[in-house]
Structure 1
């Protein structure tokens, strides 16, 4: 968000480094804060047999968290979190940096700040880092859906990587020759979903912050900036999550499907038909409650800490 204040003129390289540090810090902090909820959401989205009984209520999410602690220990809440950070930090660093650059290019003056341009800047941001970080997300999902109670038998990232590569080699078609392509199960639907999701987040974020600047006095803004950012970030994350949630469920199901169908890639239409046959339309919103419970604080923390970091780094 451009607050209209004067900033030092940095070289392109220094600006990119500072912006990447701010974005990476924001992404890592936000993901760490909501990691336990994220694991529960993945377990519910993929209709894990051990956790399906917790679906359908806010209380179920709390009970699922308690169950993980009881059966897997506190560390179970953060199973796969190293992979989460390995994806989230560079993804946020690249994404926020791209957004800063693209928004300056598309919207150099307040007169250029239209809804279409804000949506476009956010969509480009969402797509920018996805090809590089998507394999980390797939590995994290595989680790998150494992529910082994014995810590000695829990999979490690390397075991998950070897398993996914083995699935690729045993598949027909191009993945037999290029098994690394198996790390992109669900990539197409993820790419389709990130356009309205990230675009919507930044559209709401910029629009509501612009309204705040227009309606509130500078003194009020200065005294309540953090509160305003937290509220606006929460609203932005909530609206985008609800609008794109069915695509996220389809993507997670495809990512987890390798455990059940390791010899082939499960397509978009097959995944949709399977979800509809098994659970009906409600299945496309399984885990939405805990998803919102996670997204509200995550985006509030991420967007607000991004602004904190940018201010601290003077960009």
Structure 2
């Protein structure tokens, strides 16, 4: 009996329906992962930006004590401060990113012989930068809310953060004074630079290790343990990318939070590097790396695994 040819998703659905299903799968994966690690993300931002109130939590067990401190002083909701903005950015970013990856992967690597490391890295890099111009302002607003630690009865809101950023723009000189919306892109350049190796590295490791698993494991074993394999591979991919690109992330977060100290101008890349070095030396570029790994390992493990499960549920895998 002749073996039935596997039907590709693009053959099963119209192009529009495939894109919609792919976006739903990606958005679900991004939202689930970010919600799971939101408290860790806030602590990481506070450590990265060298918040004076949280400098004492820089030790090995510091992040755990920082989480307890936030719970005691700001309540459970304090752990998710700014999370609405996180989802507003993460869901469309993941939806667009994963969908773009599916299209770019099909374009760059239509057959197995085209699946080279360079092409995998390029596909991941294009995925990372695809949604950044649209979603970056949400990330900046979220960072501003996350670094707000004043113990007052008035909780920071997205609108108060937006008004503050716009006021910074209007008070500055030059082009940002004329176009204050540019202040929503503090740190955008370094973020763009960091996204290329970060996202590219994640998908490079993801595709390479999954291809290796398919090559060495029996089909029955692969089928029975597919979700576990995806979870482990996603964790490894996130770990590798995080370690190699972390200094750029520290610089980006510092620039994003800089409006609190320099509202009348946007600090540049070199000035940020000098500032971090002056405060903490080379170690400053790895501030919060422990919790960064503690956060990024489950983030990418959950995101990539739930993406695969969602694609399977929506019949596009």
Equivalence for 2:74 = 72
Q: Distance in 1 between matches of 2:197 and 2:30?
A: 19
1:282 to 2:283 alignment? yes
Equivalence for 2:125 = 123
1:265-295 per-residue CA deviation (whole Å, 9 max, x = no partner) reads: 1000000001111110000000000000000
SS for the counterpart of 1:155 is: coil
Equivalence for 1:199 = 200
Q: Distance in 2 between matches of 1:174 and 1:246?
A: 28
List, as ranges, runs of 4+ consecutive aligned residues in structure 1 with deviation greater than 4 Å. Answer: none
* 1:185-264 to 2 correspondences below 5 Å: 185-264=186-265
Q: Please point out which of 38, 41, 58 is paired with 2:41.
A: 38
SS for the counterpart of 1:246 is: helix
Equivalence for 2:18 = 15
For these two proteins, the number of residue pairs brought into alignment is 310
Does the CA-based 8 Å contact 1:56-1:287 persist in structure 2?
A: no
Equivalence for 1:28 = 31
Does the CA-based 8 Å contact 1:171-1:262 persist in structure 2?
A: yes
Q: CA deviation at 1:5?
A: 5.2
Q: Can you give the 5+ residue segments of structure 1 that lack an aligned partner in the other structure?
A: none
Q: Distance in 2 between matches of 1:293 and 1:5?
A: 39
Does the CA-based 8 Å contact 1:102-1:121 persist in structure 2?
A: yes
Equivalence for 1:311 = 312
SS for the counterpart of 1:51 is: helix
Q: CA deviation at 1:148?
A: 2.2
Equivalence for 2:85 = 83
SS for the counterpart of 1:143 is: helix
Q: CA deviation at 1:149?
A: 2.3
Q: TM-score, normalised by structure 1?
A: 0.97
* 1:48-63 to 2 correspondences below 5 Å: 48-57=51-60, 59-63=61-65
Q: Can you give the 5+ residue segments of structure 2 that lack an aligned partner in the other structure?
A: none
Q: CA deviation at 1:31?
A: 0.1
Does the CA-based 8 Å contact 1:123-1:198 persist in structure 2?
A: yes
Q: TM-score, normalised by structure 2?
A: 0.97
Q: CA deviation at 1:7?
A: 3.4
